[in-house]
Chain A
Amino acid sequence: MRPSNGPRPIGGRWRRRPHLSNDSKSRLAAIGRRMLPFQAAGEEPGRYGVLRRNMTLLMILLTVVPLSLMAFINHREHRKALRAQTEAPMREILVRTRHSGEIFLAERRSAISFITSASTYEQLADQAELNRIFQVMKQEFGGFIDVGLIDASGVQVSYAGPFELVGKDYRDQEWFQEVLVRGTYVSDVFLGYRRYPHFVIAVRHLEPDGRSWIVRATVDTELFSGLIGSHGNVPGGDTFVVNRQGVLQTSSRHYGAVLERVPLDLKDAGLEPLITETVDRSGRPAFLGMAAFETVPFVLLYVEPRGTAWEPWYTLNNELFLVFIASIVVVFLVAYRLASSSVSRIEKSEENQRRALHEMEHGNKLASIGRLAAGVAHEINNPLAIIDQKAGLMMDLTENIPGFHLGPRFGELASSILNAVDRCRTITHRLLGFARRMDVEIRDIDVNDVLQEVLGFLEREALHRGVQIQLELDAELPAIASDRGQLQQVFLNILNNALEAMPEGGKVVIRSWRPDEEHVSVSIEDNGSGMSQETMKHLFEPFFTTKAPGYGTGLGLSITYGIIKKLGGEIQVDSELGKGTTFFVTLPMRASPEMGA
Chain B
Amino acid sequence: MKLPIEILLVDDEKEFAETLAERLTARGHRVRVAFDGPQALEALKQRPFDAVILDLFMPGMDGLATMREMKARQPLVEVILLTGHGSVDTAVAGLKNGAFDYVLKPAKFEELLEKLQAARQRKAEQEERIRQAEARSLTRRTGDI
Chain A residues with a Cβ under 8 A of chain B: 374, 377-378, 381-382, 384-390, 392-393, 396-397, 400, 421-422, 424-425, 428-429, 431-433, 435-437, 439
Q: Which residue of the partner chain, among B86, B105, B109, contacts A392 with CB atoms under 8 Å?
A: B109
Asked if residues A389 and B23 are in contact (CB atoms below 8 Å), the reply is yes
Asked if residues A432 and B23 are in contact (CB atoms below 8 Å), the reply is no
**Given known A-B contacts A388-B106, A388-B109, A393-B22, A432 and B86 have beta carbons under 8 A apart:** yes
Cβ of B61 < 8 Å from any Cβ of A? no
B139 CB to closest chain A CB (Å) equals 47
Q: B16 contacts which chain A residues (CB < 8 A)? A: 382, 385-386, 389
**Given known A-B contacts A392-B23, A393-B23, A428 and B109 have beta carbons under 8 A apart:** no
Q: A388 contacts which chain B residues (CB < 8 A)? A: 106-109
Q: B87 contacts which chain A residues (CB < 8 A)? A: 432, 436
Instruction: Give Cα distance in the complex from A436 to B27, angstroms.
Output: 36
Instruction: Give Cα distance in the complex from A385 to B9, angstroms.
Output: 14
> How many of chain B's residues have a CB under 8 angstroms from any CB in A?
21
Q: Which residue of the partner chain, among B13, B23, B88, B109, contacts A386 with CB atoms under 8 Å?
A: B13
A566 CB to closest chain B CB (Å) equals 16
**Given known A-B contacts A400-B26, A421-B106, A378 and B20 have beta carbons under 8 A apart:** no
Instruction: Give Cα distance in the complex from A384 to B19, angstroms.
Output: 13
Q: A428 contacts which chain B residues (CB < 8 A)? A: 86
Asked if residues B19 and A386 are in contact (CB atoms below 8 Å), the reply is yes
Query: Of all chain B residues, which has the CB nearest A429?
Result: B104
Asked if residues B13 and A429 are in contact (CB atoms below 8 Å), the reply is no
Instruction: Give Cα distance in the complex from A396 to B22, angstroms.
Output: 10
Q: Which residue of the partner chain, among A378, A385, A389, A396, contacts B86 with CB atoms under 8 Å?
A: A378
Q: B109 contacts which chain A residues (CB < 8 A)? A: 388-389, 392
Asked if residues A381 and B88 are in contact (CB atoms below 8 Å), the reply is no
Asked if residues A436 and B106 are in contact (CB atoms below 8 Å), the reply is no
Instruction: Give Cα distance in the complex from A378 to B89, angstroms.
Output: 15
Asked if residues A382 and B86 are in contact (CB atoms below 8 Å), the reply is no
Instruction: Give Cα distance in the complex from A534 to B16, angstroms.
Output: 43
**Given known A-B contacts A381-B105, A382-B105, A390 and B19 have beta carbons under 8 A apart:** yes
Q: Which residue of the partner chain, among B15, B23, B84, contacts A396 with CB atoms under 8 Å?
A: B23
Asked if residues A436 and B84 are in contact (CB atoms below 8 Å), the reply is no
User: Which 10 A-B pairs rank lowest in CB-CB distance, beginning with the nearest?
Assistant: A432-B86, A385-B106, A389-B19, A388-B106, A384-B106, A386-B15, A381-B84, A386-B16, A392-B109, A389-B20
Asked if residues A381 and B106 are in contact (CB atoms below 8 Å), the reply is yes
Asked if residues B23 and A378 are in contact (CB atoms below 8 Å), the reply is no
B138 CB to closest chain A CB (Å) equals 45
Query: Of all chain B residues, which has the CB nearest A431?
Result: B86
Asked if residues B86 and A437 are in contact (CB atoms below 8 Å), the reply is no
Q: Which residue of the partner chain, among A385, A393, A431, A433, contacts B13 with CB atoms under 8 Å?
A: A385
**Given known A-B contacts A390-B19, A393-B19, A436-B89, A385 and B26 have beta carbons under 8 A apart:** no
Q: A385 contacts which chain B residues (CB < 8 A)? A: 13, 16, 84, 105-107
Instruction: Give Cα distance in the complex from A385 to B104, angstroms.
Output: 10
A513 CB to closest chain B CB (Å) equals 35
Q: B105 contacts which chain A residues (CB < 8 A)? A: 381-382, 384-385
Cβ of B129 < 8 Å from any Cβ of A? no
Q: A384 contacts which chain B residues (CB < 8 A)? A: 105-106
Q: B26 contacts which chain A residues (CB < 8 A)? A: 393, 396-397, 400
Query: Of all chain B residues, which has the CB nearest A424?
Result: B106
Query: Of all chain B residues, which has the CB nearest A385?
Result: B106
B25 CB to closest chain A CB (Å) equals 10
Instruction: Give Cα distance in the complex from A159 to B104, angstroms.
Output: 157
Q: A382 contacts which chain B residues (CB < 8 A)? A: 13, 16, 84, 105
Asked if residues B106 and A378 are in contact (CB atoms below 8 Å), the reply is no
Cβ of B85 < 8 Å from any Cβ of A? yes
Instruction: Give Cα distance in the complex from A392 to B23, angstroms.
Output: 8
Instruction: Give Cα distance in the complex from A527 to B19, angstroms.
Output: 52
**Given known A-B contacts A386-B19, A388-B109, A436 and B13 have beta carbons under 8 A apart:** no
What are 26 A-B residue pairs whose CB atoms fall within 8 Å in the complex? Answer: A378-B84, A378-B85, A381-B86, A381-B105, A382-B13, A382-B16, A384-B106, A385-B16, A388-B109, A389-B20, A389-B109, A392-B109, A393-B19, A396-B23, A396-B27, A397-B26, A421-B106, A424-B106, A428-B86, A429-B104, A431-B86, A432-B85, A435-B86, A436-B86, A436-B87, A436-B89
